[in-house]
Structure 1
Amino acid sequence: MWKIYGMLTFVMVMWGLNLPMLKYLLQYVGPVTMTSVRIFTAGVTVFLILCALRIVRMPRRAEWKYIIPGMLLNVVGHHYFLNNGLTMTSGTNAGLILGTGPFLTAVFSSILIRVFPTKIQWLGVFLGLAGVSSVVLADGGLSGISRGDAYVFLSIVVQVLSFLIVAKAAATLDPRLLTAYMLILGGSTLFMLSLAAEPGEFAAFASVPPTFWLIFALSAIFGTAVSHMLYNYSVGKAGPTKAAIFMNLNTVVALAGSALFLGEAITARHLAGLLFIITGVLLGSGAAEDVWRKRKERAAVKAEECG
């Protein structure tokens, strides 16, 4: 299991750094056009890796019912909302909002399999939402919610739902191969959308600086291809809820990356929001209850031994 934990830690660092990288790339090319090419590049990268590992095969008919909805949620929906949102909000705000992923995963997992969250998990949900609200509502009530903040939140909602599909698909289809098909099909779908939403924007690639291509390659290969492949593999092994616990690290790295590379200020309000989110993660994901239960079990065993 430590191998899985190591993979998840690497993925969260890559996802956290990917946020300021995306923010940089979006200065030069429209959000849908840029992300469609980036995602398709990531899909080709994953296929090349899997070809080297000799685990590529055509999906069975029954497996397409996971690939198509997984692609629409995990790739098209998530990246469409995330990249459009990043053009309208800060990387710092986006990082904090993405920090709601762990407890959203816990809640959706519980509700969809008819096992409802405990009172402590619900407390975690509200603490996490309070942390996000302290950031995005600070500029004046509901009017403080920017369209970009709403888009980023929608991006994490659809991504969380996709993790449940990945967990089910892992029973017959290698999650890494599922990732490859989702990225290729999702990138192609996003490109078709870009032709309607951003006509002529593809020409913008001709005038970008050399640094753009370096950041583009890092984002496509490590921030998306390798990271999505490893995360979906980890979800298949550890389950969506346990894997999602690590997403709080994503938030921390995103905040640090936005401050370091984009020059965005981290205020006391952001730090307070981060504290609420991490507390919400620990409670909402059930991690705190697991630790408490294990301590009680160990104490009971010691009491029996002493008795």
Structure 2
Amino acid sequence: MTPGVILLAATPIGDAADAPPRLRRSLEEADIVAAEDTRRLRALAGRLGVRVQGRLISYQEHNENERAPELVRAAQEGARVLVVSDAGMPSVSDPGYRLVRVAADAGVRVSVLPGPSAVLTALAISGLATDRFCFEGFVARKPGDRSRALAALATEPRTMIFFESPHRLAGTLADMADAFGADRPAAVCRELTKTYEEVKRDGLGALATWAGDGVRGEITIVVAGAPPVLARVEDHVERVLTLADSGSGLKDAAATVAAETGLGKRELYQAALARKG
């Protein structure tokens, strides 16, 4: 028997016209379509003018552990399994990761049908740096957990991307302003690719005030990374002296701290010598 395949397929995040021809074909040809929401998948298929011929089953966060082995067995028996989430790419803040792990462990082929992504769409339109970025998903719901998680990201140098629900947006932006600074540049991207698409760019404090009036729709937040902190010689002289006192010798201690900080060895040595004098 020819082995089957599990295909993770990206679906439009708003505009159905963004669906590639390969998605239309895959929906018609799949033996099994595992959808996060079967009703939304049927509605999408209707808008695309395609008919789902295979078995349509629910595959969501609450049944992923049970469904994953079932789908892998079907692929082992030769089935073409198509996995779709409500919008965007399965496994990116949506079900799919566990299935890929089970399939990989079983030696079942997994492939990807690329397409729309709210993460990359928001990053591209944000106006913030795109050379290095990280995706943080949804922030914690409980205020204390959220504040701690954001505090841990305060010095993250990469552009950060978050998902958030509209009714928690104002509170999350206010917590981000506290953790990252009210002036940290950010963008709130709302209803991307849809009729009422909106991108609001400002400092986090101003965005929190704006969101206080109420915001609707699917939300993606993009936040600039922390600016680099320039090392100063005077801030590291004490460490040079401490290392020197422990037996390293002043020149060797200056060389060690220079390697740690990127500061000049000569400048550190001279500053330590002056402090010692």
For normalisation by structure 1, the TM-score amounts to 0.20
Asked which structure has the greater CA Rg, the reply is: 2
Greater relative contact order (Cα < 8 A, sep 6+):
1
The structure carrying a bigger strand percent of its residues is 2
The structure carrying a bigger helix percent of its residues is 1
